Structure 1
Amino acid sequence: MLHKKGFVSWLFVISILLTACAPKTQVVDGPGLATIQSDLVNQLDVEKIYATAEELTKEPRVAGTESEKQAAAYLIKELENYGYDVGVQPFTFERYVMPEKTDLQLAGFEGTFTPAPFHYSVSGTVTGELINAGHGLKEDYDKIDAQGKIAVVTVERTYFYELVLHASKAGATAILIHFPEDNPIDTWTLGKHSDDYIPALALSHKDYMKISKNMDKKATVTIEGARVDQSESQNIMVTKQPDAEQDASTDIVIIGAHYDSVDQAPGASDNASGTSVVLELARMFKDVTTTKELRILFFGAEEEGLYGSKKYVSAMTEDEIKRSVAMFNLDMVGSADAGELAIQTVDGMNNAVTIPASQAYEALNGDSLSTDFGGRSDHVPFHEAGIDAALLVYSPLEKWYHRPEDTIDKLSKDRLLQVAKIVAASTLEMTLPTDSKE
């Protein structure tokens, strides 16, 4: 899952409060217990889901690499075995290569530091005075002279890329961004490359405390080997046509997940889990007669900036966009160590995805599932095109998110199956003929 992940925690709290106060979409008929317990939903095989995740997590699936291509080939083969005609949508994108070296030194200080680069940190070696720039907001620089200095800021309430750009515009030559205690510092991104960036490193709370006691010393920030390369990836696509009696203007329901991972992470939760569930849904739906067109998508290069889903949406015709009534995005849907299941939309509002999914969740679990804000995955381009879209994810994320510890043994079969049933029941309710729902 892309992080796509540069908000700080209090912003999410406000978002949740706003969601609770926002007007809700009128509830329509959705999947009840009968649909949840239908023979079709009961055909879902969690062992197949888990086996797919095992296959995908043999090595990281970094976008633009041979391992991502091998994952795509595996998905294509499985879909063809199920009887689908598989489409491949190639595209190019800019892939960020992480630095070979990062370092922070203080003149006359004998201790050591362990800073981490951001995804999209730029290379450079900078020596200068340290300056406390508060929370790194634009108004913080109105009170200080940062010209030629290295800004030290504490994360509070803005995007990381904005912190870097504010410092750069104020004349700082590098920036050190301090994270609150117990927050990981090696999983964050600036979102995309910018020629206006200055070298940026993340500081743990422990390192920040050392720095704060030595602000009078000159510092040297070093980032080497970071670069942006042109790379290639691909989306994998299958379409299940509706009953022959339906006309060409029939609605479209979309189910999707990204299959790439970040460097050094096997990506079991992020996102072999979502990919494996979507593949199993494809198997279940193959021989089901539906009244709507069903599109099943596997996106490449999500971790690099939602490139796959952006490519897919950009290639849709106006008619396809108009006919697309729902997009279910599955990202990180199996971690045993994450929080509870959440359903998230870009605007925090209920829509054609959240309503049936919430009703399916209630039929399974006996309690309700609220809609939260969330704009950090492949549902975003669909939302921006005007298509009702939502993300299913277990949240808060597990502590080894984007880490080598994101391995197959961390997945919960019960959680994988729960999401598979929710999406299956919701999609069946939308696409089955009325007399098939009995």
Structure 2
Amino acid sequence: MVFRKKGLKVAASLLAVSMAFGSVGYAANDTAGKSAYSQDQKIVARVDAERAIEHVRYLSEEIGPRPGGLEAEHQSADYIADVLKGYGYKVEYQYFPVADQYIGAASFADGTSWQMGAAPNGKINKEAVTAEVIFVEGGTNLGDFPANTAGKIVVMARGASTADYRAQVNNAVEKGAAGVILQSLVGSRGNYGQTFNPSLTGKVDVPVFGAAFIQGEWIKEKLAEGPVNITLTAEQFSNLQSVNVIATKPAKSQGDGKQVILGAHHDSVVGAPGGNDNASGVGLMLELARVYKGYNTDKEMKFIAFGSEERGLLGARHYVNQLSQAERDNIEAVFVPDMVATSYGPAKNLYAMTPDGSRNVVTDSTTAAGARLGNSDILPGTFGSSDHVPFHQAGIPAALFIWMGIDSWSPLVYHIEKVYHTPQDTIEDNISVERMQSALDVIGSGLFDVVRKDVPALNK
């Protein structure tokens, strides 16, 4: 999930949607997850959050960080394809080019290695640098560095501005540092900073890495126990291809010939295992693919794992761009789960978001499902930064599903997990079985309404 503050608001007038279903025969029960509508139970009775989280476990723990275009993302694609083939789906790969990646590895004597961003103008594709680590407070003045800086790997909390951290790097190099690690900062909403690629004004002959905030804290903890040596290796990865994985379920009959898509991005940012962002969305997609394989549906379905979402929605954009206008017109709905299982308490509502706050078949079907299931978590809203965007821009009804907390709208105060985009986006730190089950129930039931028959009009 690529987050930006702009474009996030709730369309308050939509909050009444969940109250509109009595006139079309949908009755919400008092108990969440129960529904008098038998078709909901065809989904709710079979979807299993634990199964979905096993996919999250493999992607985030067995593979780990999955930056777009790198080998780990391709391993992710192979895993997803194998699971879908195992369910009996026809699966294809869709490759597309992506820009170079500059990746740093910080390795320790015990064999652990952390992925960080590397500065393109630092020491790249040369021999590794191994040295003792020191932590320097400040760094924008030469006087901040101790006399024994030469030959050491310097760790510093990065300055607030690019100019500040460039000065920090230049000063460390002038003092003879063998390498520099800049620790990311805590964000304005209290979120821990992620890895980044430092932007330098000129070439320096030492590796310069951008570490996640928590990685800097972990280094401090190690230093408190005694001397620490780190080996820094920086690589430029070129001629990269990212990949979408596409599984198709033909319609039971010709019907209206329409197509419905359930899609989730499978890449993560550098250094983050991407448990909630977005192995959770992939896990949900794979679990629903398992359940739907056993049901006849009246529309063609596609289950798509998009590549390189974190690099600018590249996989979804590529998918949409290669469609003809007739193919675009044939897509009735696109469901996009992204960050659907966080355990972070303040992110207390599941939202169905569109880029402009408009209603469509995706928001209506899932909001209706939430009402029938007695699930008060799902709310409508406006959000413009995930894989639903390229579809929306092409005139295709699409919506994003995400857990979020919103305190106020003027000024805007919203919550996502503190460990978003960091090495702590893990099952242990950031995944809730209950949240995953809720998302499976609501999204799965809403999706089933769309693929088996038209959603009843909400204005009756």
With normalisation by structure 1, the TM-score equals 0.69
Measured in 2, the distance between the counterparts of 1:274 and 1:336 equals: 14
What is the DSSP-based 3-state SS (H/G/I as helix, E as strand, rest coil) of the residue aligned with 1:370? strand
Selected match of 1:423 from 431, 439, 443? 443
Question: In the alignment, is the contact (CA less than 8 A) between 1:349 and 1:371 conserved in 2?
Answer: no
Question: What is the match of residue 310 of structure 1?
Answer: 317
1:336 aligns with 2:337: no
1:70 aligns with 2:75: yes
Question: In the alignment, is the contact (CA less than 8 A) between 1:6 and 1:188 conserved in 2?
Answer: no
Question: In the alignment, is the contact (CA less than 8 A) between 2:157 and 2:185 conserved in 1?
Answer: no
Question: In the alignment, is the contact (CA less than 8 A) between 1:99 and 1:117 conserved in 2?
Answer: no
Question: In the alignment, is the contact (CA less than 8 A) between 1:116 and 1:186 conserved in 2?
Answer: no
Measured in 1, the distance between the counterparts of 2:78 and 2:186 equals: 42
Any stretches of 5+ residues in structure 1 without a counterpart? 128-175, 196-200, 205-224
Measured in 2, the distance between the counterparts of 1:420 and 1:44 equals: 7
Measured in 2, the distance between the counterparts of 1:266 and 1:30 equals: 44
1:401 aligns with 2:420: yes
Paired residue type of 2:417: E
Question: In the alignment, is the contact (CA less than 8 A) between 2:352 and 2:380 conserved in 1?
Answer: yes
Selected match of 2:85 from 61, 80, 84? 80
What is the aligned-residue identity percentage?
30
Q: 1:204-251 deviations in whole A, cap 9, x for unaligned? A: 9xxxxxxxxxxxxxxxxxxxx8978442111000111112342xx511
Paired residue type of 1:321: R
Deviation at 1:188, TM superposition (A): 8.1
Question: In the alignment, is the contact (CA less than 8 A) between 1:116 and 1:185 conserved in 2?
Answer: no
Question: In the alignment, is the contact (CA less than 8 A) between 2:261 and 2:334 conserved in 1?
Answer: yes
What is the DSSP-based 3-state SS (H/G/I as helix, E as strand, rest coil) of the residue aligned with 1:234? strand
Deviation at 1:419, TM superposition (A): 1.0
Selected match of 2:265 from 240, 258, 283? 258
Q: Relative to 1, partners in 2 of residues 1:42 and 1:189: Cα closer, same or farther, differing over 3 Å? A: farther
Deviation at 1:432, TM superposition (A): 1.6
1:320 aligns with 2:327: yes
Q: 1:263-300 deviations in whole A, cap 9, x for unaligned? A: 22111101110000100111111131111111111101
Question: In the alignment, is the contact (CA less than 8 A) between 1:80 and 1:86 conserved in 2?
Answer: yes
1:411 aligns with 2:431: yes
Q: Relative to 1, partners in 2 of residues 1:335 and 1:108: Cα closer, same or farther, differing over 3 Å? A: same
Deviation at 1:382, TM superposition (A): 0.4
Q: Relative to 1, partners in 2 of residues 1:60 and 1:366: Cα closer, same or farther, differing over 3 Å? A: closer
Measured in 2, the distance between the counterparts of 1:365 and 1:93 equals: 43
Measured in 2, the distance between the counterparts of 1:92 and 1:30 equals: 49
Deviation at 1:186, TM superposition (A): 3.5
Q: Relative to 1, partners in 2 of residues 1:422 and 1:30: Cα closer, same or farther, differing over 3 Å? A: farther
Q: 1:136-168 deviations in whole A, cap 9, x for unaligned? A: xxxxxxxxxxxxxxxxxxxxxxxxxxxxxxxxx
Question: In the alignment, is the contact (CA less than 8 A) between 2:52 and 2:283 conserved in 1?
Answer: yes
Question: What is the match of residue 238 of structure 1?
Answer: 247
Measured in 1, the distance between the counterparts of 2:25 and 2:423 equals: 39
Deviation at 1:21, TM superposition (A): 5.1
Q: Relative to 1, partners in 2 of residues 1:25 and 1:363: Cα closer, same or farther, differing over 3 Å? A: closer
- Equivalent residues in 2 for 1:143-182, closer than 5 Å: 180=188, 182=190
1:377 aligns with 2:386: yes
Deviation at 1:184, TM superposition (A): 3.8
Question: What is the match of residue 6 of structure 1?
Answer: 4
Q: Relative to 1, partners in 2 of residues 1:333 and 1:385: Cα closer, same or farther, differing over 3 Å? A: same
Question: What is the match of residue 41 of structure 1?
Answer: 44
What is the DSSP-based 3-state SS (H/G/I as helix, E as strand, rest coil) of the residue aligned with 2:392? helix
Q: Relative to 1, partners in 2 of residues 1:243 and 1:263: Cα closer, same or farther, differing over 3 Å? A: same
Measured in 2, the distance between the counterparts of 1:22 and 1:41 equals: 25
Aligned Cα RMSD in Å? Answer: 3.9
Measured in 2, the distance between the counterparts of 1:364 and 1:227 equals: 50
Measured in 2, the distance between the counterparts of 1:364 and 1:181 equals: 33
What is the DSSP-based 3-state SS (H/G/I as helix, E as strand, rest coil) of the residue aligned with 2:99? strand
Any stretches of 5+ residues in structure 2 without a counterpart? 28-34, 103-116, 124-135, 146-154, 169-183, 202-209, 214-233, 405-414, 455-460
What is the DSSP-based 3-state SS (H/G/I as helix, E as strand, rest coil) of the residue aligned with 1:283? helix
What is the DSSP-based 3-state SS (H/G/I as helix, E as strand, rest coil) of the residue aligned with 1:344? strand
Question: In the alignment, is the contact (CA less than 8 A) between 1:87 and 1:238 conserved in 2?
Answer: yes
Selected match of 1:364 from 373, 387, 398? 373
Deviation at 1:55, TM superposition (A): 0.9
1:92 aligns with 2:97: yes
Question: What is the match of residue 135 of structure 1?
Answer: none
Deviation at 1:185, TM superposition (A): 4.0
Question: In the alignment, is the contact (CA less than 8 A) between 1:85 and 1:238 conserved in 2?
Answer: yes
Deviation at 1:6, TM superposition (A): 3.4
Question: What is the match of residue 172 of structure 2?
Answer: none
Question: In the alignment, is the contact (CA less than 8 A) between 2:185 and 2:192 conserved in 1?
Answer: no
